[in-house]
Amino acid sequence: MQNNIVVYSAIGLVCAILLSYALTPLVRVLAFKIGAIDIPADGRRMHKKPIPRVGGLAIFISFLITVLFFCDINKDLFLLIGGALLIVTVGVIDDVFRINAWIKLIVQIAAAAIPVAGGIRIDQINLGGSYIELGMWSIPLTIFWITGLTNAINFIDGLDGLSCGVSTISSISVFCVIVIQGQDYSSALVTLILIGACVGFLPFNLNPAKIFMGDTGALFLGYTLSLISIRGMFKLHTVISLIVPLIIFALPLADTLFAIVRRLIAGKSPFSADRGHLHHRLVDMGFTQKESVKILYSICGILGLVAVFMCDNMFIENNLIKSIAIAVIAVILFTLHIVVLKNPADRIHTGLTEGCENTESDKNTAKNKDSANNKTEKDD
């Protein structure tokens, strides 16, 4: 029975990957037909030429088809699909026509209200072994979580492959936590299908990107992950069920929080675009898009690993200590990297900066040739 579940889940994963990979070129053609093109009209954008931006349709359609074929459509899944349809619709409209951010927020709240009205809520949290019943606060808190994570995934969509890759890594972490707890096979399968839909799209989205997933994809991924986390993690029977999802999604949530605070302090709208995101700062330090994305991938992966170590069923003894140890080691490593990478000369020798070793080698070769030529001239 266990083997059958594994095989069935693996087939669902492969189907989602293949569907997403096959649909993306077709969606790219559609993007040109309907005018869903991202034109680099300001300094905040990192690309230099127009790129189609409605690629999230491939992710959503492949996810939807695979879920319909491989999952039992229960009430919770039906509510997820209903809300996702609304989110994807506003995403497509925004990718084509560009609509006001506050209008998008209202639609996001409406989409969040659909599952909340159906009973998908954060009705209690387990903090330090004590269950805290939220009562009437469960509705606004759940809506806040859904809209918050939906926007967080959208906010970090600033470099080729960043948002989709971070969503994939976070989904893998969520999947591991759910499987380790062994409580919700349905949520685990839905998460696995979401991973497949992202993986199939990534080859077209990595730098240099052939297509962006746009608001269509970013909003859909954030919305879906928020609902999966409510079902699969907030209700875990662990003393730190509140902390686990916050750690997994810490990167996009922290970047979004800092962005909102930064803009409000500057007297701007929290939705006004700027060049102050973490990925922009990495690029401004001298890293390329690929290098910046790899760094943020690694941070997201380590955070996911910390969350997995916090699961009681996998590490019954000292799991919190192990999680803290991983976090401390990660902080030390990243601090050392920052110190080293601040020096342009040291940055070349790390191997993290693309082409620098070749450039340095070429310079040395050129110097050697010049020296040889000068020596030959003197001999003559």
Domain map (residue ranges) of the chain: 2-342, 350-380
Per-residue pLDDT, 240: 58
CB 154 within 8 A of CB 222: yes
Question: 166: closest CA among 327, 293, 24?
Answer: 293
Q: What separation in angstroms does the CA of 212 have from each of 11, 88, 171?
A: 27, 15, 19
pLDDT beyond 60 at 375:
no
Per-residue pLDDT, 376: 47
Per-residue pLDDT, 182: 74
DSSP-derived letter for residue 235 is T
In the predicted model, what is the mean pLDDT of residues 196-213?
Answer: 93
pLDDT above 90 as % of the chain:
42
Query: Structure tokens of 319?
Result: 């799991």
Per-residue pLDDT, 45: 64
pLDDT beyond 80 at 361:
no
Q: pLDDT band for position 360 (50/70/90)?
A: very low
Q: Give, to the nearest 10 degrees, the angle between helix 138-155 and helix 101-117.
A: 130
Per-residue pLDDT, 300: 92
In the predicted model, what is the mean pLDDT of residues 177-202?
Answer: 89
Q: Which span out of 71-75, 231-235, 323-327 was modeled with the highest average pLDDT?
A: 71-75
pLDDT tens-digit readout, 263-303: 888 888 888 777 778 887 888 777 788 888 988 998 899 88
pLDDT above 70 as % of the chain:
81
Angle (CA) 333-338-343 rounded to 5° is: 135
DSSP string over 8-61: HHHHHHHHHHHHHHHHHHHHHHHHHHHT-EE---STT---SS-EE--THHHHHH
Per-residue pLDDT, 49: 83
Q: pLDDT band for position 374 (50/70/90)?
A: low
Higher pLDDT, 185 or 56: 56
* β-bridge mates for residue 38, sequence order: 51
In the predicted model, what is the mean pLDDT of residues 188-197?
Answer: 95
pLDDT beyond 60 at 359:
no
Which of these ranges, 111-120, 133-142, 269-278, has the smallest mean pLDDT?
Answer: 269-278
Mean pLDDT of the chain, nearest integer: 83
pLDDT tens-digit readout, 232-273: 766 655 555 678 888 899 999 999 998 898 888 888 888 877
Per-residue pLDDT, 377: 47
In the predicted model, what is the mean pLDDT of residues 16-41?
Answer: 92
CB 30 within 8 A of CB 60: no
What is the helix (H) or strand (E) element at residue 124, kind and residue range? strand 124-127
CB 198 within 8 A of CB 164: yes
In the predicted model, what is the mean pLDDT of residues 119-128?
Answer: 79
pLDDT tens-digit readout, 139-173: 999 999 999 999 999 999 888 899 999 999 999 99
pLDDT beyond 60 at 195:
yes
Per-residue pLDDT, 241: 66
Can you tell me the distance from the alpha carbon of 289 to that of 140, in angstroms, rounded to the nearest whole number? 37
pLDDT beyond 60 at 184:
yes
Per-residue pLDDT, 154: 92
Per-residue pLDDT, 378: 47
DSSP-derived letter for residue 136 is G
pLDDT beyond 80 at 321:
no
Can you tell me the distance from the alpha carbon of 297 to that of 18, in angstroms, rounded to the nearest whole number? 23
Question: 139: closest CA among 167, 168, 118, 161?
Answer: 118
